[in-house]
Amino acid sequence: MPRIYIETFGCQMNEADSQYIADRAASAGYEIAAKPEEANVLVLNTCTVRDNAERRAYGRMNHFKVLKDADPDVRLVVMGCLAEQDRDRMQQVAPHVDAVFGTSELVAFGDRLTEWQPALQAAQDDTVDDDVAFERALLMPLGGSADAVTDAFSHLRGFVTVQRGCSYYCTFCIVPHVRGRFDHRPMREILDEVAAHVASGAREVMLVGQTVNAWKDPATGEDFGDLCKAAAALPGLERLTFISPHPKDFTEKVIADLATVPQLNARVHLPLQSGSDAMLRRMNRKYTRAQFEEKVELIHRYLPDWAITTDIIVGFPGESDDDFEATLDLVKTGVFANAFMFIYSIRRGTPAARWEQVPAEVSSARFARLVEAQNAATRAYHDRKLGTTVRCLIQGPSKKDATKLATKTLDNVTVIAPMPPDYDEALYAREPWLDVVVETAHVWGCTGRIVRRAERYAESGAPVAQPVISLL
Ligand code: SF4
C-alpha cells in the first residue's frame, strides 16, 4: 500500500485541512507514514502568517528534494496558505514540487491522491521496500519539528472547519488575501462531520475557523452559540472546544449559550493584539480596549472558571512607548492564563508592510518586558494547579523524554508524567483520559503523577500502577 506523510505548519485550520487529506488518503488506499523517508507522497501543509514560517516551508521543500532524488517515484505536494500565495514563484524556486494545492482546493487534492494510487501501488510492488527505505534513511539530513499526522493518539482529537476565510482585513494579516472572505459551512454539514469524528473515536472535537465565533448558518442565520449547543447534543460527544474567536463577535447571547454547554472545555482564546486604542485602530481590529475588557467581564460573569488566553503583537508600525505600556499594564493584571506573543514581522501584501517600522532593538526590548510579565502570570496560573488532580487527555510519549507521557488538561495546559509500568499504546489509546496529580509547576506547563485511567471523560476510572522509584 502506498504511504503518505503529512507535515503541518501553522494554525488549527491547517491541522483540520491535514486531517481531511489524511482521511481522504486512507479511503483512497494509502497508509499514513510516521516518517518522510517511509512515504511515497510527501505533503507540506504550509503557513504564511509569519516570515519565519514561510522560510521554514521553503527549507523543508529543499530537504525533501533529497528523498525525491533518491527515489524519483516519490511525489511532493505543497498545500496551504503559502501554496495559495506563492503558486507561481514556487515553480521557479522549487521546481521539484510535483503539485500545489491552495486552501480552496482540498477536494481536488483528495481526488488527485485517488488518481495517483494505482500507479504508486504498482511502483511499490516492483520495489524492494526495505532497501529503498534504508537508502533514504542514509540520505536523510532532515531536520524540522513540525507535527505530522501520524500517531496512535491523533484520532482522539478531531478538527472540524466551520468556516473558511475571513472578511476582517486586519492590517497585519495575510489570511483574507490568501484564504478569501468568510465562507460559512451549513450547520448540518458541520454536525455530520463532528458525528463522524465521534464515531471514529474522537474524545474531543475542536471547531476551527479564523474567526470561529463569527460563524452563521448561511440559510438560517443560526449563530455560533446555536452551533455549539447543537454539537453538544450529538450522542457520544465527550468534549468540545473551538479556536480562534474574535473579541468583536462574542455577543452576550453567544457567551450565555456557551455557559449552557457542559461539554465545552473551560478555556477561551481571546486575541488582544494590543492594549492601546491607537494601535487597535491601526490594526483594524474593530474593537477598543474598553470593548475588549467588556468581553472579558462577560466571560468572567457567565464562564467564571474559564481560562482566557491571548495573542499579542509587539512593535507594530507606529507603536509608541505609551502604546506599549498600555499593553503591558493589561498583561500585568494577570488576566491571561497564557499568551502567544510575537514581535511584528512584515507580511508581504498587507498594508502594515508599507508603513514605517519600529526599530528592531526597540521591539526586542519591549518584547522581553512583555514576556517577563506574561511568564509571571502564566506561572501563577500553573501554580494554582499544584496538589490538585487534573483530568487530562493523552497526547503520547513526550518528545523530549520517551520515558514520560505528555497530556493536556481541558484548559490546554501541558502536563508531563512518568509512563506507568502498564503503559501500552493500544490500551492507552482506548482509555485515554488520565487523572494526574500535579506536583511541580513551570512556565511551560506542569509535571505530575498519573493515578487513574478512564475510557470515558465522565467515568471515575481505574487506578494505574505506579513506577517503582529506586531510592538508592
Ligand atoms: S480577524 Fe484579523 S487576524 Fe484574524 S484572520 Fe481575520 S484578518 Fe487575520
Ligand 1 pocket mutation, candidates 168, 181, 244, criterion most atoms within 8 A of CB: 168
* Cell numbers standing for residue 383: 501554580
> Which residue among 383, 415, 439 closes a domain?
383
Residues 424 and 332 in one domain: no
Q: Is 176 in the pocket of ligand 1 (CB under 6 A)?
A: yes
Angle, in degrees to the nearest 10, between helices 106-125 and 12-27 = 50
Of 48, 170, 350, which is best to mutate to test ligand 1, by the most ligand atoms within 8 angstroms of its C-beta? 170
Q: Which residue carries 491522491 as its cell?
A: 113
Domain limit, last residue, from 114, 148, 182: 148
Residue whose CA is at the smallest distance from ligand 1 atom 2: 170
Q: What percent of the chain has pLDDT over 90?
A: 65
334 shares a domain with 428:
no
Q: pLDDT higher for 422 or 283?
A: 283
> Please, are residues 106 and 81 in contact by the beta-carbon 8 Å criterion?
no
Domain boundary among 132, 148, 164: 148
Supply the pLDDT for residue 461. Answer: 87
Q: Is the peptide bond before 470 cis (omega within 30 degrees of 0)?
A: no
Confirm or reject: Cβ of 351 under 6 Å from ligand 1: no
How far is the centre of ligand 1, averaged over its atoms, from the C-alpha of 38 (Å)?
37
d(CA 156, CA 162): 19
Q: pLDDT tens digits, residue range 304-360?
A: 999 999 999 999 999 999 999 999 999 999 999 999 999 998 888 899 999 999 999
Dihedral of alpha carbons 459, 409, 414, 426, sign: positive
Nearest-CA residue for atom 1 of ligand 1: 168
CATH of the domain at 266: 3.80.30.20
pLDDT (0 to 100) of residue 145: 38
pLDDT tops 80 at residue 137 = no
User: What is the band of 426 on the pLDDT scale with cuts at 50, 70, 90?
Assistant: very high
Give CA separation, 417 vs 41, 136, 221, 444, in Å.
35, 35, 45, 14
Residues 379, 259 share a domain: yes
Q: What's the pLDDT score for residue 172?
A: 92
As to burial, measured by CB atoms within 10 angstroms (0-12 exposed, 13-18 middle, 19+ buried), residue 175 is buried
Can you give the residue range of the structural domain that contains 230? 154-383
Q: Which atom of ligand 1 is nearest to the CA of 167?
A: 6
- My answer on whether 131 and 185 are in the same domain is no
Spacing, Cα 211 to ligand 1 middle (Å): 7
Q: Are residues 296 and 344 in the same domain?
A: yes
**Does the residue 282 lie in any domain?**
yes
CATH number at 81 reads 3.40.50.12160
Mapped onto helix, strand or coil, the DSSP state of residue 194 is helix
Ligand 1 centroid vs 132 CA: distance in angstroms?
A: 44
**Rounded distance between C-alpha atoms, residue 78 and residue 101, angstroms:** 6
Whether 161 is covered by a domain: the verdict is: yes
Looking at the fold, whether 423 and 359 belong to one and the same domain comes out as no
Residue 45 lies in a domain: yes
Measure the CA–CA gap between 11 and 6, rounded to whole angstroms: 15
Question: pLDDT of 34-72, one tens digit each?
Answer: 888 889 999 999 887 777 778 888 888 888 887 888 788
Lookup result for grid cell 448561511: 218
Q: Please, what is the Cα angle at 90 between 99 and 59, to 5 degrees?
A: 100
Yes or no: say if 132 and 71 are a contact pair by the CB < 8 Å rule.
yes
CA–centroid distance, 343 to ligand 1, in Å, is 17
Give the model's pLDDT for residue 132: 37
C-alpha cell at 228: 455549539
* Domains identified in the chain, total number: 3
| Cβ(420)–Cβ(450) below 8 Å | yes
Binding site membership of 173 for ligand 1 (Cβ less than 6 Å): yes
Contact, 394 vs 405, CB < 8 A? yes
In this predicted structure, the answer to whether residue 146 has a pLDDT above a threshold of 60 is no
If asked whether residues 284 and 142 sit together in one domain, one would say no
Q: Are residues 274 and 217 in the same domain?
A: yes
Residue 113 lies in a domain: yes
Buried b (16+ CB within 10 A) or exposed e, 103-133: bebbeebbebbeebbeebeeeeeeeeeeebb
Which ligand 1 atom sits nearest the alpha carbon of residue 284?
A: 2
Task: Return the residue whose CA atom lies nearest to atom 4 of ligand 1.
Answer: 210
287 and 167 part of one domain: yes
Q: Report the percentage of the chain scoring pLDDT > 70.
A: 93
User: In a mutational test of the pocket of ligand 1, which residue from 48, 211, 244 has the highest number of ligand atoms less than 8 Å from its CB?
Assistant: 211
CA distance 257 to 222: 12
pLDDT (tens digit per residue) in 216-274: 999 999 999 999 999 999 999 999 999 989 999 999 999 999 999 999 999 999 999 99
435 within some domain: yes
Does ligand 1 have an atom closer than 6 angstroms to the CB of 113?
Answer: no
User: Per-residue pLDDT for 470 more than 80?
Assistant: no
**408 in ligand 1 pocket by Cβ < 6 Å?**
no
Q: How confident is the model at residue 248, as a pLDDT?
A: 96
Query: Using a 6 Å cutoff on CB, does residue 175 contact ligand 1?
Result: yes
What integer is the mean pLDDT of 412-436? 95
- Cα distance between residue 62 and residue 400, in whole Å: 26
Q: What is the DSSP letter of 246?
A: -
Q: Is the pLDDT of residue 144 over 50?
A: no
Any domain includes 144: yes
Q: Which residue's CA is the nearest one to ligand 1's atom 5?
A: 210
- Continuous segment of H or E residues that includes residue 159: strand 157-161
Q: pTM of the entire structure?
A: 0.79
Quick one: which atom of ligand 1 is closest to the CA of 246? 1
The CATH number for 401's domain is 2.40.50
Q: Does residue 470 belong to any structural domain of this protein?
A: no
pLDDT at site 221: 96
Distance 35 CA to ligand 1 centre (A): 33
Same domain, 298 and 347: yes
Beta pairing class for 433-441 and 446-454? antiparallel
Q: For residue range 18-35, what is the model confidence (pLDDT) as tens digits? A: 888 888 888 888 888 888
Q: Is the CB of 166 under 6 A from ligand 1?
A: yes
Distance between CA 25 and CA 234 in Å, rounded?
Answer: 27
Q: Is 170 in the pocket of ligand 1 (CB under 6 A)?
A: yes
Confidence of residue 380 (pLDDT cuts 50, 70, 90): very high
Choose the residue to mutate in 12, 103, 175 for probing ligand 1, maximizing ligand atoms within 8 Å of C-beta.
175
SS3 assignment, position 346: coil
**Closest ligand 1 atom to the C-alpha of 176?**
7
Judged on CB neighbours under 10 Å (0-12, 13-18, 19+), 305 is exposed
Place of cell 512556565: 443
Per residue in 274-309, pLDDT (tens digit) is 999 999 999 999 999 999 999 999 999 999 999 999
Cα dihedral value 251, 254, 260, 264, nearest 10: -110
Sequence-distant (≥ 6) Cβ neighbours of residue 377 within 8 angstroms: 331, 332, 334, 335, 336, 337
Asked if residue 246 has its Cβ within 6 Å of ligand 1, the reply is yes
Q: What is the pLDDT of residue 150?
A: 57
Residue 469 lies in a domain: no
Same domain membership, residue 179 and residue 137: no
**Whether the CB of 210 sits within 6 Å of ligand 1:** yes
For residue 450, is pLDDT > 80? yes
Ligand 1 centroid from CA 244, angstroms: 10
Mean pLDDT value across residues 396-402: 89
- Of all residues in the chain, what percent are helix, strand and coil, respectively (each to 5)? 40, 20, 40
- Among 127-141, 171-185, 194-208, 449-463, the range scoring the smallest mean pLDDT is 127-141
- What is the DSSP code (8-state) at residue 210? T
Residues ≥6 apart with Cβ < 8 Å to 20: 106, 110, 161
Tell whether 444 and 332 lie within a shared domain: no
pLDDT at 149: 52
Q: 23 vs 161, 195, 234, CA distance in Å?
A: 14, 15, 21
Out of 71-80, 290-299, 406-415, least confident range: 71-80
pLDDT band for position 15 (cuts 50, 70, 90): confident
Indicate if ligand 1 lies below 6 Å from the C-beta of 168: yes
Q: What's the mean pLDDT in 144-171? A: 79
180 lines ligand 1 (CB under 6 A): no
